[in-house]
Amino acid sequence: MKTVVFDKPILTGDVAVPGDKSISHRAVMLGSIAEGETKITGFLDGEDCLRTIDIFRQLGVSIEREGTNVTVDSPGLQGWQLPSGDLYAGNSGTTARLMLGILAGSNIESVLTGDESLSKRPMNRVTLPLSTMGASIAGGPDGNLLPLTIAGGHLTAIDYKMPVASAQVKSAILFAGLNAEGTTTISEKTVSRDHTERMLMQFGASIQVDGFKVSVKGGNVLHGTEVIVPGDISSAAFFMSAAAMIKGSSVTFKNVGLNPTRTGILDVLRNMGARVEILEEKNGVGEPFGTVKVSYGELRATEISGELIPRLIDELPIIALLATQAEGTTVIKDAEELRVKETDRIAAVTSELKKIGADIEATDDGMIIHGPTALTGGTLTSYGDHRVGMMAAIAALIASEPIQIEDPECIAISYPGFFEDLDKLAQPANANG
Ligand code: SPQ
C-alpha cells in the first residue's frame, strides 16, 4: 500500500521517461532471431521487458545488460538450444503473444507460461492464425489460454485479414512469417502500432508496407544491428495529463517517441484544450522522437473513437481521469479491447474513479464521463495493472484528500522510477516564476 499526498501544487521541469516498452521487447526479440551482435540503448528495464530477456537467455542467446544498455549476441533462431524449463512471460501480453509467433517457426519445443492475470488473457487471436500457418500449439481451451506447448516446425505463409486492431497479433504473424515458406500478408482495418515493421526493415528483413497491408517474405536471414529506444509516450502520458489538469503546470518531455501510430494522446490533449508544443522532432534510425512540452489549459470534453483508439489504447485509463476535469461529457467508444488487458480496464477505471467522486459510467466498449468533478481521497486498487496504478497516483495530485494505492509495485512493469520522477516534477507554485 502506498499513500500519495500531493502537497506541492504544480508540476514543472523536464523529464526523460524510460524507454518504450513495445520497442524494447521487439529489439531483444529481433536481436535474438538475427545472427550476430545487436546493441540496444535506452532499453526499458521494467518487469515485462526483463521477462523477454530471461526467455531468450533460456534459449541460449547471450544477453548482457548494464542498466538500459543491452548487448544481444545470437547464433540466430536456428541455433537456439532447448530450454531446461518453462518459458515464463510473467504479466506481459506482448512477450507471450509475440513469442508464440517466434517459437512456432523455430526448431524448439517449449512451454510458455504466465502469471495469474496473463493466464486469463486470450491467446487464440494469435494461435488461430498461427495454426493456419501449420503451427503446432497445444493447451488451454482450444489454445486460448496459457500455459501452451509450442512445437516449432515448418510453416506456410498466409494471407490474413485481422479481425481486431492489434499490434501484438500483427507482430506474432509477421515473426512467424519470417520463417514460413512464401510471403505472408496481413491486412488491418485500422493501423496499429508499427514498431515491428520499422524494426524488421532495420534488421534486413524483406518486408513491404502498403497502406493497411504488410507483407514479409520467409527464409531471409536477419543480421544484428543497433537499436536506439526512445522514451515511452505511454509512460509520458501520465505526466502529460497531470500537467494538462493542474493550473500553472508545464512539463517538458525529452527524447520521447513520436511514432504517429502512438501519438493519439497528443491529439486528445490538444482537442481538450491543453497546450502541446513539439519543440524538436528527429527521425532516428527506425523511430521518430523529440521534445514535447505540455502545459495546463482549461479542459473541455471530447469524443474518442474509431481510428484514434489503437493510437492511444494504453492511455485510456489516464484519459478517463483527464475527462473528470473537463467541462462537458466525454465519450470513449470502440475500445472493447480494454476489457482484455492486464485487467478489465473499463471496469477497473470506472470503479476506482467512482470511489473518489467521479461521474463516470462504463459501457460495453468504453466509458462516459461527465465533468468537471472535484475528486476526494480514499483507497484505490491497481488490480495489479500498472496503468491503473499510475492513474490512481495522478488522481492523488488533484484529489482533496490523500489517496492510498493498493499494490503499487506493479507500476514497475512499465515505469520503474515513476514515483521518483513525480517527486522531481512536483514543485511549490512559486517555482514556476
Ligand atoms: O504487453 P501487454 O501486457 O499487453 O501491455 C499493454 C500495456 O498496457 O502495456 C496492454 F495491456 O500494451 C500493449 C498494447 O495494448 C502493447 C502492445 C505491443 O507492444 O504490441 C500492443 C497493444 O496491445 P494490442 O493487443 O492492441 O496489440
Residue of minimum CA distance from atom 26 in ligand 1: 166
Q: Model confidence over 146-179: pLDDT tens digits?
A: 999 999 999 999 999 999 999 999 999 999 999 9
- Judged against a pLDDT cut of 50, whether residue 432 lies above it is answered with no
| Residue 385, ligand 1, Cβ within 6 A | no
Full DSSP string of 328-378: EEEEE-S-GGGGGSSS-HHHHHHHHHHHTT-EEEEETTEEEEEE---B--E
CA 419 centroid distance within chain: 19
Place of cell 496503468: 387
Residues 6+ apart with CB under 8 A from 433: none
Distance separating alpha carbons of residues 305 and 320, to the nearest angstrom: 13
- 359 with 371: CB under 8 angstroms? yes
Q: Model confidence over 30-65: pLDDT tens digits?
A: 999 999 999 999 999 999 999 999 999 999 999 999
Domains in the chain (CATH in brackets) are: 2-19+230-432 (3.65.10.10), 21-228 (3.65.10.10)
When pLDDT is cut at 50, 70 and 90, the band that residue 430 belongs to is low
Q: Model confidence over 304-351: pLDDT tens digits?
A: 999 999 999 999 999 999 999 999 999 999 999 999 999 999 999 999
Question: In the prediction, which pLDDT does 433 show?
Answer: 42
Closest ligand 1 atom to the C-alpha of 414?
9
Q: Model confidence over 194-210: pLDDT tens digits?
A: 999 999 999 999 999 99
Q: What number is the average pLDDT over the span 176-191?
A: 97
Q: What Å distances lie between residue 78 and 107, 149, 225, CA to CA?
A: 7, 19, 18
Question: In the prediction, which pLDDT does 40 show?
Answer: 98
Which conformational region is residue 383 in: left (phi greater than 0), alpha (psi within -120 to 50 degrees), or beta?
left
Closest ligand 1 atom to the C-alpha of 341?
11
The HSE-up count of residue 115 (CA atoms within 13 Å, CB side) is: 15
- Compute the distance from residue 305 Cα to the ligand 1 centre, in Å: 18
Question: What amino acid positions are annotated as catalytic residues?
Answer: 314
- Compute the distance from residue 94 Cα to the ligand 1 centre, in Å: 6
